[in-house]
Amino acid sequence: MLLCNRLAIAIEGKEPMVPSVERPSSETDGALTAAHCVAGSSGPADLSLRAGTVSHELAGWVIGVDFIKAHPEAKLWRNDIALLRVPRDFPFGTEVQAVALAESPITPGYSATVAGWGRTNVNESFSWSLLNTTVTVSTSSKCEKDFGFNITSDILCARPKTPSTDICEGDGGGALTKHGILYGIVIYGRCLDDVSQNSLYVNVSYFYNRITEATALEPL
């Protein structure tokens, strides 16, 4: 599913967490999300970042976004990444911390953690408390068999480690991490019970240079 859960983006909090954050420059804090999550936005005034809580709409610190830039060539599945920035720093400490960006892809077969506020299955409502689950990273060839199209370098795939824990509607834009490193951003969750079937993520390492070199005047 492509739907994002009302674009509540947690920077980092107590477990489970969505540490989809990096400081792309020395100037401001920012967050990464999927481009399709901001596609319907009329501008930065529509968006804010919440940090230091697992609640979707309560507690933590909230700062309005003042800059938003989706990849200029974002389209269905491809280049599905966007950068958000806030005008001042969050109070970094025990409950709010930055995450490192992956400089190289995560190895197929490795496990990683994905978190979000999405549905636990297609018949459930969205979660108001942040959830997480463990997934196993797959090869591109296996993923191509699941989806029937070419998996390009900007995409990575992972499948649920246990049944009925796949990412689902509302998890779009969520973070895939391992050992405090952001490897992926949720593009598409299949909401399946089958642990052999993959879902799609942005391969963050593919965009590493573009993210770290970005400024408020440059496209991602």
Per the structure, the count of domains in the chain is 2
Q: Distance (Å, rounded) from C-alpha 220 to C-alpha 217?
A: 10
Give the residue, 20 or 83, on which the prediction is more confident.
83
Q: What is the DSSP letter of 204?
A: G
* 107 and 88 within one domain: no
* 40 and 67 within one domain: yes
Q: Distance (Å, rounded) from C-alpha 10 to C-alpha 117?
A: 10
Q: Distance (Å, rounded) from C-alpha 106 to C-alpha 110?
A: 7
Rounded percentage of the chain residues whose pLDDT exceeds 90? 13
Domain that holds residue 68: 9-98+206-212
Rounded percentage of the chain residues whose pLDDT exceeds 70? 76
**Residue 218 falls within a domain, yes or no?**
no
User: For position 49, which CATH number holds?
Assistant: 2.40.10.10
Q: How far is CA 31 from CA 95, 127, 149, 173, in A?
A: 16, 21, 29, 10
* 118 and 92 within one domain: no
* 108 and 79 within one domain: no
Asked if pLDDT for residue 8 goes beyond 90, the answer is: no
Asked if pLDDT for residue 5 goes beyond 80, the answer is: no
Question: 0.75 cut: is pTM over it?
Answer: yes
**Residue 72 falls within a domain, yes or no?**
yes
**95 contact partners, CB below 8 Å, separation of at least 6:** 12, 13, 14, 51, 52, 53, 60
pLDDT digits (tens, 9 = 90+) for 97-129: 778 889 999 999 999 988 887 777 666 767 776
The predicted pLDDT at position 184 comes to: 92
Query: Mean pLDDT throughout 132-141?
Result: 88
Name the strands in the sheet holding 82-85, side by side, starting at the edge strand that comes first in the sequence. 21-22, 30-33, 82-85, 67-70
Q: Distance (Å, rounded) from C-alpha 124 to C-alpha 164?
A: 12
The predicted pLDDT at position 216 comes to: 41
The predicted pLDDT at position 15 comes to: 39
pLDDT digits (tens, 9 = 90+) for 177-214: 998 889 999 988 777 666 777 889 999 999 988 887 76
* 106 and 64 within one domain: no
